[in-house]
Amino acid sequence: MSSTDYNSDTLNDMTPEPAGARRVVVLISGSGSNLQALIDAQQHDHLGGEVVAVISNEPDAFGLKRAHEAGIEAVVLPHREYDSRDAYDGALIKVIERHEPDLIVLAGFMRILTPRFVQRFLGKMLNIHPSLLPAYQGLNTHARALTDGVSHHGCSVHFVTEELDGGPVVLQAELSVASDDTVETLKEKVHAREHLIYPIAVRWFLEGRLQYTAEGATMDGHPLPPQGMRLSHEDAAEELDEDVEAN
């Protein structure tokens, strides 16, 4: 190896893993029920790391209260105080970097991210979306699924890339749609599935099992299929003690 090869990346590769817990920063805008699922998993030692900060762009987000109650630093960074999306994302990058996260978790963070922001954290940012991606990217997923009369719906955890709701999918949980389902019942059942799979995906990432590559997501070094791993309706319903007969 010539001295010119001896760059800081090489040094980083040679540095032993730090003994401290893996650090997670969670971004929210609202209720934060997924944040709560992560906090609960952490409190049961199932997260594989620690939520070190919660950042909200909405000052009234209920998730901030959840963070306070769990003794986690809660930061409000209101987007309305910035002139442009780029200025906001620049400020957000600074706040996030202060916490030296291993992973950034989007949990109902209702902002479109700039390419600069996404590139800064590419490969270490996960999102959860209320549909079986690539179906129903964007908003109002439950209503659109009902209108289409689909038999299956659900949620997806995916790596965040510049394409909105378009990054490599890691894990999905499926839901059989019942004839009497409404937007509200779908929302509730999908939420329960989100709370089931998000802490699992976060743990896999923090354990180093789940990785982002330019070709897609890998698990234990093996490429995942485009729709990631999938928890069936039956398995999810059993985990959640749902009445499978009802569907």
Q: What are the residue ranges of helices labelled H in the chain?
A: 8-14, 33-43, 62-69, 85-98, 115-120, 141-148, 183-206, 233-239
Q: Which of 25, 107, 132, 236 binds ligand GRF (CB under 6 A)?
A: 107
**Rounded alpha-carbon distances, angstroms, from residue 195 to 34, 148, 224:** 6, 25, 22
What order of strands is seen across the sheet that includes strand 23-28? 73-76, 50-56, 23-28, 103-106, 125-129, 152-159, 169-176, 229-231
Q: Which of 22, 23, 24, 34 binds ligand GRF (CB under 6 A)?
A: 34
Catalytic residue among 44, 68, 129, 233: 129
Shorter beta-carbon distance to ligand GRF: residue 129 or 189: 129
- The verdict on whether 195 is a catalytic residue reads no
Q: Which of 130, 168, 199, 228 binds ligand GRF (CB under 6 A)?
A: 130
The span of 28-36, 52-60, 222-230, 238-246 binding ligand GRF (CB under 6 A) equals 28-36
Are the beta carbons of 216 and 145 closer than 8 angstroms? Answer: no
Name residues contacting ligand GRF, limited to 193-232 (CB under 6 A). 194
185 binds ligand GRF (CB under 6 A): no
Positions marked active-site: 129
Interface residues toward ligand GRF, by CB under 6 A: 30-34, 107-108, 128-130, 155, 191, 194
